[in-house]
Each structure stands twice: as C-alpha cells, then as structure tokens.
Structure 1
C-alpha cells in the first residue's frame, strides 16, 4: 500500500479547514469592523465640524452686523477669536461678509480684506444656500474636509459666511493604524489557530493513524492487533468496532483452520482418491490416496490439466461434469509385475451462485477388488452350474438308456448304475465342499483341537494312498523331525488337508514318479509340513490364483480326475482357522511343493 502524501492527510486537511474558517471569519469581522469604524470616525469628524461651524457662526454674527461702528476693534477681536478657535479645533477658518470680503483668516492673514471668488461652495453659502461637506486637497496634497455655512442675523438675513477646512490625514492615519493592528491580530490569530489546529487535529488523526497501522499489520497476517480506546466518541466507537472485527476475524480464521485441518485429515485418510480442479480444469488439490493410485507426486501434478492426468480429452470430461452421466470406469496401469487398477471416476461440479461452475471434484474409487469379487461370483456361479450340470446330464442320459431297454441287460445295466452312482457321489462331494466353504465364510466352522501324534497321522495318510501309489508305481517318502511328537490340532481337518494335497500330488505325478512328505520345526513356535512332487508343475501365471475357488490350471484333466476345484480353497481355510499359513511353489514340468505351517502354541479364543 502506497503512503499518503503530506497534503492529502486528514490532519493537514483539518488544519487547512480550521485556518480557512478563522481567516474567513476574521476577514468578515474585519471588513465589518473597519467599515463601521470608518463611518463612525468620519461621522464624528463631520459632526464636530458642523458643531464648530454652528458655534462659530453664532459668535461672529455680532462682528458681521453692519451697524457696528467700532470696526477696528471688531476686526481685531474677530481675528483673535478665529485664531483661538483654529488652535482649539486644529482647523483653518475664514470669516467672509456678505460682500465676499474676507474679514478674518486663521492661516492666511494676507487675504483679509480681499474679495474671494473661490471656492464656489463659499459663494453659495454667502448666497444663503446650505452646502454639505466636501473633500479638498491643498497645495501640499493634504486631504481635508471643508464646510461653508451662511451666517444670518436675527432677521434671518445672510450677513456673511464661515469657511472651515480641517485636515483628515490624522483621521485616515488612525484608521490605517487600526487596520494594521487588525491585520497583525489576524496573523497572530492564524498562527495560534494553526498551532491549536495541529494539536486538535492530532487528537483526531492520531487514533486514526493507530487504527490504520493496526489494519495494515492485520492485512499482513499479524492478527494479534488491538486498539487502545481512550474515548467514547466516534473515534472510540471506531476502535471498538475494529477490535470486535479483529476478534471475529480470529474466530473465523480459527474455525476455518479447524475446518481446513479436518478436511486435510479426511482427505489424507480417505480410502478413495480425491482431486480438485479450478474452472480451467487445472489441478489445485490432490490427496495421498490419489497420488498412490496415479503413481505421481503432488508437486508434479499441481497446475496440470486433469485430462492429461487421467488420459482422456477435455470434451469428454466436460460431458461427465455437465452431463447426466457423471462417472466412468478407467484402467490405471501399474508397474510391470502388478496388475492394473480398475478405478471408478466420479465427477462432481462445484457450483457458485452467480458464477456457475467454478471447479470440479473428482473422486477415484479403487474397485479392483470389487471387480475381482464380482468376477469371482460370476465364475463361481458358472462353475457350480457347470459342475452340477455335467453329472446331472450324465445321470439323466444313463437313466434314459436304462429306461429304453438297457435295464434288461444285466451287465450293461450294472455298468450304467455304477456310472450313475459315481456321478451322484461326485455331486455329493461338491455340495459338501461348498457347505464347508460356506461355514468357513460365515465363521460357523468350529475347530476342535486335541493333542494329536503327528507321526501316526502322517503314516495313516500314507497308508490310505498306498494302493494308488503301488498301482502307479509312485514312490512316497516320509520325513519327520524326531523331536516332533504331538501337536494341538483338529486331526480330522488336518487329515482333510493332507488327503487333498497328497491326492493332488498323485493325480499330477506321472507313473514311477516321486512324492516327499516332510515335517519339521520352523523356529520355536511353528511346525512346517510340506508335500512335494516331481509331476507336471503349474505355470507361473497361474500360481497366484491357485487357491481360488473352482480355479483349475487344466480344467478338462481335473474334471476327468474327479476334482471339484475346491480342495486347495478348503485347505487354505482350514490352515487359516488353525492360525497358520499355506503357500505353493511350482515350476512347470518339474514339480510342485505345497507347504503349510501351524503354530505349536494356543491362540486366544480357540475352542479346544
């Protein structure tokens, strides 16, 4: 903010206003006073001349009477009177008789006895005409006022005239002195006014300057500002309003900061990605989850076009923002080994009253697992339908054959009934496996643990499969750590796991192959059991899906061997229920090794 120029400050303006007011007032008063004084002084001077001429006319009346015989005495006395009056009133006096002969003169004795023709006002006065005062200047250029008055006798006959002229220089000098005194007083008053104006204006502007300083500091982000209030006038009320505003601003900023922190916390901890853009489609906010999903950093994305980031066009994004369909599915590529993310993108416009759309909120929802789950459901339904339809179709076909006459042929009927029984058993196994998985999914399966001899359990497994092993000439080796005696497990369910693993090993191992069952300790608290074969093996791309329900690497061969595709899924659920973990290692055409570990300690909450 630029500083205010000196002559634009309120203080200077107030001083100028005060000085102008005083100056105008003094001028008006001075004009009125001087005019009044001049008129009064001039009127007084005029009245004094009139009085003097009236008095003198009464005195000289007797000296101008024609019947007076003692003229020399009268002339001398008249001259004395005129000179004395001239000295007293400080004026020049002339006495003229009716014939315009000067009878007496205070300043020009040499004209006594002479006839005058000038000034004309004197001649008019001798003729009995009343003459007002008039202004004259003598040979020395001195300003004077003159008066001529006719002198009348008792019969009201004009017997002469009196002419008086008085200098007005002293009068005007007095008026000028008074004017100078008034001007000096005005200057002194203006100086005092300026001084008082500075003091008074400072009392007004100082609080305003202080509030302005505080306001500037407030604008710079220094919110701990408070104005000291020293009065209850308008300035004090302004200070109170400023303090109230600062407090409200602090509260608003505090509330805004709290809301900002809440929003930042929410954005940081959201499981969905959030991106905010301005009205031009440029990114202004992005949360951590969105960075992870897009595999970018905040500093690399701020200010960029959202269309470039999502790999789509501006027109398409505009249709999502303003159109009826505000969401879309996109696929975000990951690094080479990870599968791409399936992301649902939802566009929500930010509306502002009077301005329309001022930005967009984009929500990225990772629906990869959801899509996997949906795909698994679809595959599950398809697989169950297929697994049930195949034996049902076989059973129906054989029953129709029996109905059509095969029942009368004993050998053929016996073989058809056997096939029908096998397919029914296959459906029962499938339904039982599904029931087992359903119980595990709903946490209804109870693990009944008891102390079990590991060696005996493993030997029983070998005995159960000995006929198949001998029939295909497959060698099975059993290796048990001598230090392992008993273990707290559910023997029936672990038997189910081992039966499934050994059965799979036999199925996918060629004749005269080899299977190894190994049992050993892993650390102090774990027992590791593995089943390894040198059979067909599993392609690398299928290993990560091998424990999925109904997943088969070779679907036709598995189905021909009587598998349901649920064995490994059930085995994983059983091992997880024991607090353990199952893994699979395999290499195509070299063999497969399935390993599971179970704890030797009791987990809290386990049912014995």
Structure 2
C-alpha cells in the first residue's frame, strides 16, 4: 500500500512523466537513427556490389570479345576463373554466366559442381534480357540473408553473358546490431541520468509543496504563528510569500473575529433584555442567560426547540411568525424559581437573505415590562385614589354649602353643625395635600435632612406623651424601652418623629380598648439602630402585608377613611426611612397584633444632608 501511495504522489508522477518523455524521445530518435543507418549501410553495400559487378561485367566482356573464336573454350574459362578469384569479396559468391544462363565459373570452390548448370533466378533472367539494375534479398538454406546483384555482359549491343554476385550480409547486420547495442546502452544510461535528474527536479518542486502542506495543516489546526520558508524568487517562492501573507491576514481576521465574538457574547450575557435567535425553520439556535431566566429554562435548551412553543404563542401568532409578519406580542411568562409570571414584551425581527429573498431566521428580543406595567397600574391607581380622596370631601363641602345656601344658614344650630363639617372636610383635604407634597419632596430628593445627634429615649418618650390623651381615652397601656448601646444616634429628629407618629397613630386606631403598645430601640446584628412599634390590635391579613406600604392602600378602606386616614402615612414613613439609608418592615397576624420595625444608621456626620 505504501508503494502504491508513492506512485500517487506528485514527485512520482513528475519522475515518471519526465522519464517517459525522455524514453519516447529517445525511441523516436533511435528508430529514425537506426533505420537511417541501416538504409545507409545497405545502400552502400548494394552500391559496392553493383560497382564490382559492373567492373567485372566490363572485364568479362573484354575477355568474351578478345578470345572468342581465337582460343579454345578451356583457355577462356581459366582466364575468367583467374579474374573472379582476383576480385575477392568476403562472404560472397561470384558467378560468370554465358548467354544461355549456364554457369561458366564460380568463386566458391565448393560450388564447382554447379558449373555447366543453368542459374534460373529472376535477377539472372532479367540481366540476360539486357536489364542492368537487378537486385534482391534472399535467405539461404542456412538462414543467412544475402544480397543478390546481377549485371549483363554486353559485347557491343549484344548480351553475351551475365555476372551474378550473392554477398553475405552477416557482417552488415552485425554492424547494425553493434550500433543497436551502443544505442540501447546510451538509452539506458540516459534514462538513469534522467531518473536522477527527475528526482532532483521533482524534489525541488515537491519539497516546498510538502512544507506548504505541513504549514497549511498547522494553520488548519489553529497554529498561526508558523511561517512558510521562502526557497527562492520563482513561482513557488512567490506562492510561499503569498501563503505567509494569507496566514498573517487570517490570523488577524480570526483574532478580530474572536474579539468581536467575545464582545458579542459579553453584550448578550449582560443585556437586561433577553435575546433568542432562530433558524429559517423556527428552531432556536441562540439564547442568552437573561432570556433563559425569563423563559424559566433551568437546563440546556434542546437544539432546534420551536420558538412559538417556547414562548407559548397562539396559532395566529405562530402563523405570523412563520411568515415573518410578526412584530411584537405581550406575554405572561414564568421565570426560573417558580416566581409569579412576568409581563414580557417580545419584539420579532426577521433576518432576510441578501440574495434570493426569503427569511433566514428571526431575532426575538424579550423585555421584562412587569415593573413598567406595575408602575403604570400604580400611577392609574394613584390618580384614581387622589381623585376619589379629593372628590369625597369636595362633594361633602358642596352638599353642605348648598344646604346652607338653601336656608340652613337661618337655623343657628344647624348652620354651626354644617360649618363644622365643612371645616373638618377642608382640614382633611389640607392633610391630604400636605402629605402629597411631602411625598413629592421625598421622591424628588428636595426634602433636606437636618441630621443631629438625638437622644433615643427622650424621642420615644415625647412620642408617647404626644398621644397621651388618646391613650387614656382607650385605656391602652404604652411602654418604651431603649437598650444602653443605643442611647443616642445621628438622625433628623423631626422626620423620625413623623415616622413614629404615623406608626403610633395607626397602632392606636386599630388597637381595641385595654390593649398594649410597646416602643423599643436596640442595636441589631448588622450594627444599625432598630426601632419597633408593637401593638395588640386587630392585625393585618397576610395577603395585604406586601402592599401595606403602597400609597393610598388600605386594608379596610371604609373604616380607614372614617377614622380620618389619608392612606399615605406608611408610604411617607418608608420614604423618610429610605432617605436616612435604612429600611422598614412589618410583621402581623390577624387578630394578634402587628410589629413595625425600621432601621437607621447609628453613626453619621453631623450637619445637613440632602
């Protein structure tokens, strides 16, 4: 397998192609060279034979012409035999034929038996017919290739005989074979050198490619600090420089991309709004922590969870979302921890493809508007309560004023009573407006605190003395208790007096005759001053405790209004305590009494603070 994989490499392919090119070129050159050499040697050999045959034809013609009729036949044959023997051709047989084609003499002694016999070969027949260009190849009985040449012997214009030469071509083909051997040796040597040069050439090409492959693999694995060595200024060197430049740009781009991803992840993680992204099929692919909290998802979100099911959209909203027409929706979602459902505004923004149209996904932004809706509800309720609180005394004043105008003024007793009612309702309106202005100043931070060192025990005693008349009327027992470690504190005496007054006033209103009210001041575990007002009154239902500090909130609206309360006392107390940097809380059991506790810092710098 390793050998097969080598042949699939560029290096092996380059070597094979290079060697094959050289081999094909050498083969073409060799075939042309050997063929040309063979043709040249054969032509030269044939020309030499023809020249010798031509010369012997001339000499023989002279012999035939000079001795004819003057000497006997034996003398003529001997003369021709001597001439043939003197004209020696290696490996060749020379025959002299008469006009009838009979062999007169031969240069091969072993062929003397054929003397007197006719030579019937085609070339001989052609020569005896006076054709001078006669030649052919023959293969003898011993498988030796021979070249046969025949020339006519002319005496004047008359053919008197023929010269027949059959030359052995063994030496010629031996020469050609040696030439082939030399050429084959040169071819093998050239192929070997070509293979070596091909390896070197392929190495110069494939080595940079291998280096580039290793560096590309390293870059793919995230190692961008490695640089490709530049081996020269050729195309491969330029490719190496371009690769290094590309790696640098890729490193910078990925670094910038990672920074952007970290920024985006940080932004998504710290957004106050939830963000959910979906793909084109509506499956969730991204959800930040805030969105998971809003949707109540404690574990990892299942991949591809449908957004409409996750948000609990109805059929119409799901259809609009799928078509990319959904814009926003108000939903009630339960967050993690089993808390009460929150009011969430979901805004849908479709992501359109740049090419071809269509929707590639949707971005859903979840905004928790529970507080805004609650504030809006509180504002509406506040306006309604203020309107109601003002309308009731104004209606009463108007009714009694009309009664006085209609004649009740003439009755002194009735007029005095009606005027008293008008005065009481007016005072009630003044208290309401005063409390509203006080709350407004506290909300806008316009009410400045005159911080001074205050004796806690003296402050609590003054509050108890202020309500002594009402306490005696209802025969309520009131007590104050101050721990030694909180003898004094830095606070606004007038503001805290108002807080204590509101709390004691409420305790007196809702504590039956013979009840108990206890004022206590101590240092809590957090090192702050804790002042509590405990009563044995009717208490507050649990469902109302969370809203008891809201403005105009009353547990028993009709009874509270009849007692002259505006519903703002506890709200004012909470704002004053918050302005001091403390907190206020209430604990109560129905028909068992209530405990209101507020905390204040013990140590503050003297002077005025806003």
Scaled by the length of structure 1, the TM-score of the pair is 0.91
- How far is 1:372 from its partner? 1.5
Counterpart secondary structure, 1:216: helix
String of CA shifts for 1:58-92, please: whole Å, max 9, x gaps. 3333321255635555543432221121x245432
Confirm or deny that 1:245 pairs with 2:246: yes
Distance (whole Å) between structure 2 residues aligned to residue 81 and residue 335 of structure 1: 133
2 CA distance for matches of 1:47 and 1:441?
135
Q: 411-420 vs 171-180, which deviates more?
A: 171-180
Any idea what SS the aligned residue of 2:42 has? helix
Q: Name the residue aligned to 1:574.
A: 576
CA separation in 2, counterparts of 1:208 and 1:335? Answer: 57
Structure 1's 567 and 135: CA in aligned 2 closer, same or farther, altered over 3 A?
same
Cα separation, 2, equivalents of 1:129 and 1:172? 29
CA apart distance, 1:266: 1.1
Q: How big is each residue's C-alpha offset from its partner over 1:179-215, in whole Å with a ceiling of 9 and x where there is no partner?
A: 3433343344334333332332232223223323333
Residues 508, 144 of structure 1: alpha-carbon distance in 2 compared, 3 angstrom cutoff = same
CA offset at residue 323 of structure 1? 4.9
Mark the runs of 5 or more structure 2 residues left unpaired by the alignment.
none
Partner of 1:348: 349
1:258 deviates by 0.7
Task: Name the stretch that deviates more: 429-438 or 7-16.
Answer: 7-16
Equivalent position of 2:597 in the other structure: 595
Which deviations, in whole Å up to 9, do the C-alpha atoms of 1:271-308 show, x marking residues without a partner? Answer: 22222333333333222222333333342544433344
Structure 1 position 550, deviation (Å): 0.9
Q: Counterpart of 2:585?
A: 583
Offset, 1:486:
4.5
Deviations 1:438-459 (A, max 9, x none): 1111111011123444444333
Query: Which residue does 2:367 correspond to in 1?
Result: 365
- 5 Å matches for 1:15-414? 15-66=15-66, 69-71=70-72, 75-85=77-87, 87-88=88-89, 90-98=91-99, 102-107=103-108, 110=112, 114=116, 116=118, 118-153=120-155, 155-312=156-313, 316-320=317-321, 322-333=323-334, 338-354=339-355, 356-414=358-416
Query: Who is 1:418 aligned against?
Result: 420
Q: 1:359 to 1:604 in 2, by over 3 A?
A: farther
Describe the shift of the 1:4–1:382 C-alpha distance in structure 2 as closer, same or farther (beyond 3 A): farther
Question: Could you tell me how far apart the structure 2 residues matched to 1:335 and 1:141 are?
Answer: 109
Q: Give the corresponding residue for 1:496.
A: 498
Distance 1:3 1:570, change over 3 A: farther
- Aligned match of 1:427: 429
Separation in 1, partners of 2:3, 2:497: 92
8 Å contact kept, 1:15–1:197: yes
Matched residue, 1:564: 566
Alpha-carbon spacing, 1:302–1:117, altered in 2? closer, same or farther (3 Å): closer
Aligned equivalents of 2:606, 2:63: Cα separation in 1: 159
Q: Give how far 1:538 is off.
A: 0.7
Counterpart contact for 2:295–2:336, Cα < 8 Å: no
**Match in the other structure for 1:445:** 447
Residues 78, 104 of structure 1: 8 Å contact kept: yes
Whether 1:11 aligns to 2:11 is: yes
2:133/2:151 contact within 8 Å kept: yes
Q: 1:4 to 1:471 in 2, by over 3 A?
A: farther
Q: How far off is 1:40 after superposition?
A: 0.7
Deviations 1:405-457 (A, max 9, x none): 11111111111111111111111111111111111111110111234444443
How many residue pairs were aligned? Answer: 605
Greater CA drift, 359-368 or 426-435: 359-368
CA separation of 1:79 and 1:454: change in aligned 2, threshold 3 A: closer
**Cα–Cα, structure 1 residues 516 and 99, in superposed 2: closer, same or farther, change >3 Å?**
closer
With normalisation by structure 2, the TM-score equals 0.90
Indicate conservation of the 8 Å contact 1:285/1:302, yes or no: no
- Quick one: distance in 1 between partners of 2:600 and 2:456? 12
State the 1:113 CA deviation: 7.2
Q: How far off is 1:566 after superposition? A: 0.7
Contact 1:407 1:413 in 2 (8 A): yes
Distance 2:275 2:92 in 1: 112
How far off is 1:503 after superposition?
Answer: 1.3
The CA deviation string for residues 503-552 of structure 1, in whole angstroms up to 9 with x for no partner, is 11111111222222223444795433222211111111111111111111
The answer to whether the Cα contact below 8 Å between 2:67 and 2:76 also exists between their aligned partners in 1 is no
Conserved 8 A contact 1:142-1:167: yes
Distance 1:584 1:98, change over 3 A: closer
Q: Is the alpha carbon distance of 1:150 and 1:390 closer, same or farther for their aligned partners in structure 2, counting shifts above 3 Å?
A: same
Q: CA deviation at 1:228?
A: 1.9
Q: For residues 269 and 6 of structure 1, what CA distance do their matches in structure 2 show?
A: 56
Q: Is the contact made by 1:65 and 1:159 (CA closer than 8 Å) also made in structure 2?
A: no
Backbone CA RMSD of aligned residues: 3.0
**Residue of structure 1 in register with 2:438 after alignment:** 436
State the alpha-carbon separation in 2 of the partners of residues 32 and 335 from structure 1. 93
- Give the Cα–Cα distance (whole angstroms) in 1 for the partners of residues 220 and 39 of structure 2: 64
Q: How far off is 1:137 after superposition?
A: 4.1
SS in 1 for 2:272: coil
Query: For the structure 1 residues 336 and 238, does the alpha-carbon distance in structure 2 shift closer, same or farther, using more than 3 Å as the test?
Result: closer
SS in 1 for 2:539: coil
Answer yes or no: is the 8 Å Cα contact 1:450–1:491 preserved in 2: yes
SS in structure 1 of the partner of residue 347 of structure 2: strand
CA distance 1:606–1:344, change in 2 (3 Å): farther
SS at match of 2:512: coil
Q: Does 1:544 align with 2:546?
A: yes
Answer yes or no: is the 8 Å Cα contact 2:448–2:609 preserved in 1: yes
Q: CA 1:77 to 1:324, structure 2 compared with 1: closer, same or farther past 3 Å?
A: closer
Contact 1:223 1:246 in 2 (8 A): yes
